[in-house]
Every structure is written in structure tokens, then in C-alpha cells.
A = this chain, B = another copy of it.
Amino acid sequence: MKTVGTLGERGVIRVIDGIVKSEATVGIGDDCAAIDLGDKYLLVTTDMMVTKTHIPKGMGPYDVGWALVAVNLSDIAAMGGKPLGVVTAIGITKGHPIEFLEQMVDGMNDCAIRFGTSIVGGDTKEHEDLILCGTAVGEVSKTGILLRKGARPGDLIAVTGALGKAGSGFYSLKRGLGLKDAEDRLKRPWPRVKEGMVLSASGIVTSCMDISDGLSSSIFELSRNSGMTHEIDYVKIPKAPEVEMAFHDLERQKDLVLNFGDDFELLLTIKREHEQDMPALAEKMGCPLTVIGKVTSGEENILVDNGKREKLENLGYEHFRARKY
């Protein structure tokens, strides 16, 4: 008898995708489902957060609540959407202090409000440990929707913000390095909601997703969707200043920047002829937008490092699985 454990996460999704007959315009496999509302698309995304009996070291109930809402809003952002509301289902033990619940809901509420939306409803159930499920809904114009597919050879690859910050925060917490900003970013992810809406309105983005599982993994995900390959230049990748404080070793730094994830920056492709529009776009977003490579039609995804071309490895989420809560 074959079990779910033999499938892996991707295999599970393949099984589900093979069964459900989605009527959505965009179904399983993108950051959100997109449902045709006539004049626009309704976006829907759901994320379950399983915490073991303990919350990871350094992450308090407020952070947990914040993170639940943030990861869902990041999916809305990745499609260029405007959030309309978030519902949260909470499985909690009888033994949790009321204060824990209050702080967690505070975190949910603050995150939703900070990014221009609100918690509109939810459900609570008694359970043996804390388990949370958030669902965000949003809207996006039909011409402005950003998908994982759509890149063409020659398009530029860009990222918002800087990479490696959340990862540095993880090692800071683990080893007591005191990189407070980075730790805060790990504990309270920052969805690029406004940035996604600006990118959607720009009309120059050909594909987009959020980097929840790491840059390398996300590059491969774009490849899977567009059928294209990518060439990224390590030197060009904007790195959080904390990365070199987390590790002296250059290979460990590289691993952090390429494979850690949890930064929730947006990874996107842009029509090459619009390169000159990028500074104005970055200003409108209030956030750096950096070209890190280009879309190709080759055999494999390539990483250029100081002029040396190597095959980009898909390490991302799987690589760091052990530290996931």
C-alpha cells in the first residue's frame, strides 16, 4: 500500500490536480486561483500553518498571527492583486492562555490592516496543538493579472528588495548573533502588496511569483510554467547586509541568498525594451527593483558567478526543510 509520504509535496499536488476539475481561469499551480468576475478576476489563496506543540524559538504568538496573514497576502501580491479580506481558521488547545490567543489575533489584525485589508471572519476549533489556516481574497484587473507563466526569451529577470534577510535572521536566532532587523523579517514576513499592485498596473511585467521557498526554487518554478530557462548573475543579486554578518564563508552566504527563502520578495520578468522604465517603477513602489538576469531558451537554468557559468541547482525549500515549522 503506497502512502502519501512516498509522494512528496509536489506528488500530492499532482494527485489532487489530476482529480479536481477546476472551473477557475487560473487553477492549481499558481500563487492564487483566479475566478472570472466579468470585469475583473477574483483571487483566492489558502495557506495552512502547522506548528508543533511549540512555536519555533524566538517566534511569539503575535508573530505567528502576523505570519499567517502575511504569507497569504504575499500570494495576492504575487498576482498583482489588491487584497479584499482575509479569513482565518484557528485550531487551538484548551490549555493555551487567553493572552496567547489575543496576541496571535492582534498579529493577524495588525498585518491585515498594515497591508490595506482586514480580517473579515474565521472559524475556531479545539485541537491537540496549534494549527492555523488563512485564506486571502483579492481582485485584479484582467489585463493586470501577473502569472507564473508568460516570460519570453530576452525578458529581464528582476527582484524586489534584497535576498537573504530572513535566512540571516534564522541563523541569528539560532546562534544568538543579535541581527534584530533580520530576525524581525523572519518572524514577521513583509508581503510586497503595494509593489505587486504597481507592477500589475505597469503593463511591462511578463511573469511574477513570490520567493517564499528560495530564489533557486522559484526560478525553476517559473521555468516549469513558462517553458523557458533563466540565466541569473550572482553578483547582481541584491543581498541583505545581514548575509555577511551571518556567515563569513562565501559558499554559505551564497547558499543563503540562493536557497533559503522566507524573504517573500517578488521575482518577476520584464520586457527588455522597458528596462529604462524600471527606476521610475522602483520609485513608485518605494522599493528597490534589481535586474538579476535574463530569460533564455536554453537547456537549463544557469548561474553566472564572477564570469563562471554553472548549472543552477534547485535546492530551495527542500534543502532547508528541516528548519521549517
Chain A residues proximal to chain B, CB less than 8 Å = 1-7, 9, 12-13, 15-16, 19-24, 27-28, 32-33, 35, 37, 42, 44-50, 84-85, 87-102, 105-106, 108-109, 112-113, 117-129, 131, 133, 135, 137, 139
Contacts and interface: CB of A to CB of B under 8 A. Distances in A.
Given A120-B23, A124-B12, A133-B133, A98 B7 contact: yes
Copies held by the complex: 2
Given A3-B96, A46-B89, 20 more contacts: A3-B94, A3-B95, A4-B97, A5-B95, A16-B101, A19-B105, A19-B106, A22-B121, A23-B120, A24-B118, A27-B120, A33-B85, A33-B120, A35-B137, A46-B88, A46-B121, A48-B131, A87-B135, A89-B133, A128-B128
Contacts of A135: 44, 46, 87, 133, 135
A91 B46 CA distance: 12
B3 A118 contact: no
Contact of A48 (B44, B49, B99, B125): B125
B21 A113 contact: yes
B121 A33 contact: yes
Contact of A87 (B46, B101, B127): B46
B122 A16 contact: yes
Contact of A123 (B46, B117, B125): B46
Contacts of A20: 105, 108-109, 112, 118-119
Nearest to A32: B121
A35 B3 contact: no
The majority secondary structure among interface residues of chain A is mixed
A93 B35 contact: no
Given A7-B98, A16-B105, A135-B46, A120 B87 contact: no
Contacts of A21: 109, 113, 118-119
A4 B101 contact: yes
B24 A123 contact: no
A212 B135 CA distance: 22
A125 B50 contact: yes
A106 to B, nearest CB: 6
A22 B87 CA distance: 10
A92 B4 CA distance: 8
